[in-house]
């Protein structure tokens, strides 16, 4: 809080100070309201969970839950009225990124060449390498893990710019990194050995 010696002398500065303080107060009240709304929602959820866990103990609990639901609905409508319409809420969600497989696992390369790398299938020109696609797949061989690296070089014809590349190998799960040996190991461990998934992980 400002002391008397820190207050400005002119009226316009004082008015601006009052406006700033009232805006800050309104923002704090809005934040307090949203916190209260969240508290009421959590209390309602706790009451429902207690009711599910311990069963119906009395009719008073049903009435209490109904009252909390009504109060929660009133708070939500009041908060919706208070929020300015010009600033819509946009949910920002972090993109899902698959972590790379550990570097210490042994890599086993598999090279997939197109059918004709000597001549272009369209014009008969000489192809040149322009890059390659690399896809890694985790595989389980009894007693150890390994990573299969599927390498598919791309070739481009110097004459007609036609691109040639071998088709990708099929996978048991589309766009998945688990190989057939790993999937078989997980299924046998879960259903034959009765080892739950959280223990396998």
Asked if 140 and 181 count as a contact pair (C-beta separation under 8 A), the reply is yes
Average pLDDT for 179-195: 90
In this prediction, residue 191 has a pLDDT band, given cuts at 50, 70 and 90, of: very high
**pLDDT, tens digit, for every residue of 7-61?**
777 888 888 888 888 998 888 888 888 878 887 888 888 777 777 767 655 566 6
Q: Which residue has the higher pLDDT, 5 or 37?
A: 37
**pLDDT, tens digit, for every residue of 65-104?**
777 777 777 777 777 777 655 555 566 777 877 788 888 8
Query: Residue 1 above 60 pLDDT?
Result: no
**pLDDT, tens digit, for every residue of 157-174?**
777 778 888 888 888 888
How far apart CA 26 and CA 24 sit, in angstroms, is: 5
Asked if 26 and 84 count as a contact pair (C-beta separation under 8 A), the reply is no
């Amino acid at each position: 809080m400002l002391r008397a010696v820190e207050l400005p002398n002119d009226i316009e500065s004082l008015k601006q100070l009052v406006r700033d303080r009232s805006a800050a107060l309104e923002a704090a009240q809005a934040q307090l309201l949203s916190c209260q709304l969240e508290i009421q929602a959590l209390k309602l959820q706790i009451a429902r969970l207690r009711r599910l866990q311990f069963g119906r103990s009395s009719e008073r609990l049903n009435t209490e839950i109904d009252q909390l639901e009504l109060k929660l609905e009133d708070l939500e409508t009041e908060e919706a009225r208070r929020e300015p319409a010009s600033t819509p809420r946009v949910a920002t969600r972090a993109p899902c990124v698959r972590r790379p497989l550990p570097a210490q696992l042994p890599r086993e390369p598999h090279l997939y060449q197109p059918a004709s790398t000597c001549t272009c299938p369209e014009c008969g020109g000489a192809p040149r390498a322009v890059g390659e696609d690399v896809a890694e797949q985790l595989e389980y061989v009894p007693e150890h893990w390994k990573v299969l690296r599927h390498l598919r070089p791309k070739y481009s014809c110097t004459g007609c710019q036609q691109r040639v590349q071998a088709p990708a190998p099929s996978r048991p799960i589309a766009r998945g990194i688990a190989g057939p040996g790993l999937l078989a190991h997980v299924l046998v461990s879960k259903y034959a050995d009765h080892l739950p998934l959280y223990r396998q992980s």
